[in-house]
With several copies, the nearest count.
Chain A
Amino acid sequence: MDAIKASDLIRLFETWQSLFAEQRDFLISLDGKVGDSDLGITMSKAFAAAAEVVAAEGEGAGISKLLRTAGATMARTAPSTMGTLTATGFLRASKATEGADVLGTGEAAAFWRAFRDGVAERGKAKLGDKTLLDVLDPIAVALETAAGSGEPLAKALAAASDAAERALEATKSMLAQHGKAAAFQEKTIGLQDAGATVGYFLVRSMAEFADS
């Protein structure tokens, strides 16, 4: 598809919901290695709740309003680190897409830039700290580049997804500085960051969605 409409966004949230339901146990065990095993639970809860409310709200609300509802719902239902950061991301994306009827490449770039900035501000992590931010930044950068050169949405998101995959791989060599993983120090080296994995999942599934 060329652009994600409000009705598509509702389906995208459904996709995310099933994605995190499927990945629940994987994320539990990933977070369990150097964390507290809750990530699979919070993410599946957050996206189940978000999918439900955006479906209930309906396409008439428009892109920005739907994202805002999704973000506010997540903040309420999954107030863990990742839950609140993801919620903040969607709330900022909502602000950034105010007035937009659809998400084309330009709006997607604005979406992910705002998402990244929100997470950076709220979490105060730096690049290289082995967090979600380490995949959000390349996603935003890839989409900005694509928007600058007028790439169609599906292609732009595919490039962003590839960038996120590489960035996720790169988190393996980083040393965790935040959250529960920070306690594990050297043991985090070699492991991909759990939050970054969620970021990659989000954009990959958005890219696949746009490509379908």
Chain B
Amino acid sequence: MKKFLNDPVNFVDEMLEGIYGAHKELTYVADDKRCMVTAKPKAGKVGIATGGGSGHLPLFLGYVGDGMLDGAAVGGVFQSPSAEQMYQVTKQIDQGAGVLFIYGNYSGDIINFDMAAELADLDGIQVKQVVGNDDVASSVVGEEHKRRGVAGIFFVYKAAGAAAAEGLSLDEVTRIADKARSRTRTMGVALSSCVVPEIGHATFSIGEDEMEIGMGIHGEPGISRKKLAPADKVIDEMMERIFAETDYKQDDNVAVLVNGLGGTPLEELYILFRRVAQLLDQRGVKAKHVWVGEFATSMEMAGASVSVLHLDEELDRLVAAPANTPFFKHCILR
């Protein structure tokens, strides 16, 4: 294990200390660093909370800030935070307009967020939930509810965050989040494993010349393991899966997110995007908003994912709205 760390047991808490030190616009409640909230709550706004395991930066907490989220419960590496932590975040960010939970479809998180929603309900806080399930590789069409949530949750945060910033109601923000969720598809590919600090060795092994298409962000198995193909071929195979279950029409607009899993250089992500753009072009689909970088990682895992959000007019506007969080900034200066 080749990591910059002290005692692996303190990995998450020391990371959080670093984050609070660097980003004064973030703070925490309940005397628990893992209950992160924005330092600048906006009166009357619908609160949006997320949460999940650590090891995925900038996911999840990195999107707490203007125009996106209001709080995040932070778990151990690849571990759900506790219901108690989610509840504390929820209490803090409720501004009387209710709270929307947006998180990924993993049993640990669901069980805990459900418990947190029950606790908040006892306090009279209205809570809604939208559970990201964008990973096409993790279950077949018709069984979408079994799909894992991966990088595409970024689009759900972005659309819902912008809607909440516009002052929409909890029902409206939930409707929009759910629309963004249902119109987002992601395919991923992994080239190498990550190492959970407290475990100290690779989560899975993969041959020096192999890739796994569809692998999950905790190393969950994908669709096929095969010899690493040229970048264009990898994208062709991934995009084929996405195209197979979407009904993009000529001149439709999409937003594209090419996400690095952590160990893959930015240069390669642009080589991948180049091919994504070509394929969209061939279908007459316009990549109206494009982000390339690390948005949802698995620590040092090498690999990438492509997420596509099928825009409509409303999502187009919301995705393009300004945002300013420690890890994601979208601004127009002139």
Contacts and interface: CB of A to CB of B under 8 A. Distances in A.
Bind each other: yes
Given A38-B79, A75-B82, A76-B82, A81 B108 contact: yes
A182 interface: yes
A36 B115 contact: no
Tell me if B's interface is mostly helix, strand, loop or mixed.
loop
A182 B146 contact: yes
Interface in B75-108: 75, 78-85, 106-108
A193 B59 CA distance: 30
Contacts of A36: 78, 203, 218-220
Contacts of A143: none
Question: Interface size bucket, A side?
Answer: 20 to 34
B148 to A, nearest CB: 7
Which one of A79, A182, A187 has the greatest number of beta carbons of chain B within 10 Å?
A79
A78 B82 CA distance: 7
A150 B92 CA distance: 52
Interface residues of B, number: 30
A81 B82 CA distance: 10
Nearest to B32: A76
A123 interface: yes
Contacts of B146: 182
Contacts, number: 75
Given A84-B115, A180-B220, A38 B196 contact: yes
Contacts of B80: 79-81, 84
A85 B111 contact: yes
Contacts of A32: 203-204
Interface in B126-156: 138-139, 146, 148
B79 A42 contact: yes
A75 B112 CA distance: 9
Contacts of B84: 75-76
A123 B107 contact: yes
Interface string B57-75: 0000000000000000001
Given A42-B79, A84-B83, A84-B112, A183 B220 contact: yes
B114 interface: yes
B112 A79 contact: yes
Contacts of A182: 146
Interface string B175-219: 000000000000000000000101100011000000000001011
A187 B223 CA distance: 12
B322 interface: no
Given A180-B106, A182-B146, A28 B112 contact: no
Contacts of B216: 180, 183
Interface in A97-131: 122-123
A79 B203 contact: no
B221 interface: yes
A123 B218 contact: no
Contacts of B198: 41
Contacts of A179: 106-108
Contact of B148 (A41, A83, A183): A183
A166 interface: no
A123 to B, nearest CB: 7
Nearest to A78: B79
Contacts of B204: 32
Nearest to A74: B82
Contacts of B107: 81, 123, 178-180
Nearest to B222: A183
Q: Which 9 A-B pairs have the closest CB atoms?
A: A79-B82, A81-B108, A179-B107, A36-B218, A81-B107, A183-B220, A80-B108, A79-B80, A84-B111
5 contacts: A36-B203, A36-B218, A41-B199, A79-B83, A79-B108
Given A80-B108, A84-B111, 19 more contacts: A37-B196, A37-B199, A37-B203, A38-B78, A38-B196, A41-B199, A78-B79, A79-B79, A79-B81, A79-B83, A84-B80, A84-B108, A85-B111, A122-B114, A123-B111, A179-B106, A180-B106, A183-B148, A183-B221
